[in-house]
Structure 1
């Protein structure tokens, strides 16, 4: 810090843009995921007026803009402030948000299928390539395992455990969901459709954390933690909603993949038509039980939420967990309405969609206010300077830890 102080005594001061780039973090991706959650839930409304599609498209475009802004800013940070970039990757709190770049991109693919394909801006071949090459081969694998090696290389306190820790092993959480969306624009007789179907089923097994059962291990640790310490409080109260995601998205994927399976598999002669119906029925039964678990975790998080969460504007980023983890079970509600032809499911889906949109507007305004006040995504001048200039001789080995991250907005 003496070295940093000597630099601060000079006339050079970091610009406002430099402080923003240095202070950016991977916690920005939940904003885009929350934006994607709006058009994903709205697209499933039973009575869907045509004008609503335009409104959803605006959110889809906004999601792309947010994604490009986040990736570009973090890339600039890695170029100009590599020590800060490495520091964020190894941070025990902010590092768990790195895999969200994969999940955020998955919501863009779903939006592309829903809005770009009908408009003639993309075709089945383009969607197939995005699914297989980007989501599966590149993002999911090469983001998941390096972060696992970094995070699990150090011990962690179970008394501070939060479901958000599972982000590290949920980079393929939406593969099953993306798969059945991809199959919407592919013909059942296409041999590639069978590959997408099987890949969706296979990765749905690891969609919620390196194996479906791995997710339940995390949820079991979560229950153990609140049994010993009580409900999550402070910024961690937001993480309680993350527990809704794994069972909710898995239920949604099972229903839709099962529906596609009874169309694709008999067509290719792999199973009989009756076996396809059995496959679908088993998927619905399993999805219904997972749906109940997701709803339970939702109420388990929402009932004590207002009394436990900190009402601090600098912790607003963690509140975005109120949006995207709930998309799975909300969309499953609509799917169950179609299966059992019960109007009550449609009403619940409509109510939750309205709440989702309302929460998004509230969080977006509060996040913009926190950004304007410099409470998030802005580093202190001395931190920027310390990562800008070379360290003095003898301190190179401590480069990564030389400037502790005092960025604002932590919370998961």
Structure 2
């Protein structure tokens, strides 16, 4: 198999054509191991955060153990995915640069950092309570390294995207928001530690990420008004839009709750400052959370409308990861208002996410065995072929019935 990642324009002529040799070794299939595979540890890490006794409003004996097992599973998946994509880049020359310049695969180049964000944040939930003070120091060091690297990535990836613009508004999906997502999650990581410099840095990152997301939302809504919903294969990615306001809401509440009670008198008396921060954070969180609710409902309806045409892709993990933020934000708001009803809603949402994760994982394994992914003409070639197909007449026909 020869690599076409570095030259996606060639993929449109070969999509759907499998190699003549049906006995292709699995190791050779790794040529098509894309950045999007990191959505698997992303979703798993988010689930390990959700299954924490510190987050869940209703716990039971063994919940913390389950959360730790999921976290260990996440670490294993992250290591395996990292090894596989490293093998691709080393053994198939040109694929690394090609992946970063590819019109659609490059949008997922930030997913390794997103996976690391959930891994680091879960240290505070599953590691620090068991390991003690030394891990707090490690956590803070990891935060600052992640903060710097994710900012560089946010600038660099968008620079590459803007340098050779090939995508059009008609191709718009919330995946365009992914390069800024890792830096934004610095706020979520900062919300787990009582350190003012980290909280200030986290708030800065969260603010930038949310503002960039709002700008992208404007184009996204423009795209849907003018061209309709994305194609069925891309609709799972619509849930990515649920993430930014959700994670911003939970980060604001988390940082307000973790603001140290003993500090320099930045804003006056300690008790008054803490109270104002919590009230302001909660009101702002509710205000922003409503946008997540709207995007969630739109995404659900869009996917249900196209359910018979949807086939598994790695973007199906968007059913899980953004909605983890949505669920934790809901639970956090319920705790701030001392609302048992919202707590039960959050518990129900958590159970649904566990079921969704298992269902997506089952379809992932089945698609891998059936060669629907990690195969010639699939993965990085699929998205480009859809864009090419649209430019050759499909877009004009689909616009008439609103199914672009």
TM-score (norm 1): 0.82
Residue 400 of structure 1 corresponds to none
Change (3 A) 1:17 1:305: closer
Q: 1 CA distance for matches of 2:104 and 2:196?
A: 39
Q: Could you list the per-position Cα deviations for residues 31-59 of structure 1 after superposition, in whole angstroms to 9, with x for gaps in the alignment?
A: 11111222222222112123011111121
Any conservation in 2 of the 1:22–1:81 contact (CA below 8 Å)?
yes
Q: Could you list the per-position Cα deviations for residues 201-236 of structure 1 after superposition, in whole angstroms to 9, with x for gaps in the alignment?
A: 111112x2xxx3221111111111111122333122
SS in 1 for 2:374: coil
Aligned-residue offset at 1:116: 2.0
Residue 351 of structure 1 corresponds to 348
Residue 77 of structure 1 corresponds to 88
Structure 1 portions without partners, runs of 5+: 5-11, 184-192, 384-403
Change (3 A) 1:34 1:132: same
Residue 225 of structure 1 corresponds to 223
Q: 2 CA distance for matches of 1:277 and 1:118?
A: 26
Residue 205 of structure 1 corresponds to 207
Change (3 A) 1:406 1:160: closer
1:269 equivalent to 2:279? Answer no
Q: 1 CA distance for matches of 2:332 and 2:385?
A: 35
Q: 2 CA distance for matches of 1:111 and 1:197?
A: 17
In the TM superposition, what are the counterparts of 1:221-300 in structure 2 within 5 Å? Answer: 221-261=219-259, 263-264=260-261, 267-271=263-267, 272-273=269-270, 274-300=272-298
Aligned-residue offset at 1:311: 4.1
Aligned-residue offset at 1:18: 3.4
For this pair of structures, how many residues does the alignment match? Answer: 363
Residue 151 of structure 1 corresponds to 161
Match 1:24 to one of 33, 45, 67: 33
Residue 388 of structure 1 corresponds to none
Any conservation in 2 of the 1:23–1:407 contact (CA below 8 Å)?
no
Aligned-residue offset at 1:276: 3.3
Residue 392 of structure 1 corresponds to none
Residue 359 of structure 2 corresponds to 362
Q: Could you list the per-position Cα deviations for residues 92-112 of structure 1 after superposition, in whole angstroms to 9, with x for gaps in the alignment?
A: 111100101111101111222
Any conservation in 1 of the 2:36–2:108 contact (CA below 8 Å)?
yes
Aligned-residue offset at 1:254: 0.8
In the TM superposition, what are the counterparts of 1:9-408 in structure 2 within 5 Å? Answer: 16-43=25-52, 44-120=55-131, 123-133=135-145, 135-138=146-149, 140-155=150-165, 156-183=167-194, 193-206=195-208, 208=209, 212-261=210-259, 263-264=260-261, 267-271=263-267, 272-273=269-270, 274-309=272-307, 311-313=309-311, 315-379=312-376, 406=381
SS in 2 for 1:123: helix
Q: 2 CA distance for matches of 1:71 and 1:203?
A: 26
Q: 1 CA distance for matches of 2:214 and 2:295?
A: 13
Q: 2 CA distance for matches of 1:405 and 1:250?
A: 31
Aligned-residue offset at 1:161: 0.6
Q: 2 CA distance for matches of 1:177 and 1:171?
A: 10
Q: Could you list the per-position Cα deviations for residues 16-38 of structure 1 after superposition, in whole angstroms to 9, with x for gaps in the alignment?
A: 14323211000101111111222
Aligned-residue offset at 1:410: 9.5
Aligned-residue offset at 1:14: 9.5
Change (3 A) 1:312 1:293: closer
Change (3 A) 1:37 1:51: same
Aligned-residue offset at 1:196: 1.1
Larger Rg: 1
Aligned-residue offset at 1:143: 2.3
Q: Could you list the per-position Cα deviations for residues 329-368 of structure 1 after superposition, in whole angstroms to 9, with x for gaps in the alignment?
A: 2111111111111111111101110110000000101101
Structure 2 portions without partners, runs of 5+: 5-20, 387-404
Q: 1 CA distance for matches of 2:228 and 2:26?
A: 42
In the TM superposition, structure 1's runs of 4+ consecutive aligned residues that sit over 6 Å from their partners are: 407-411
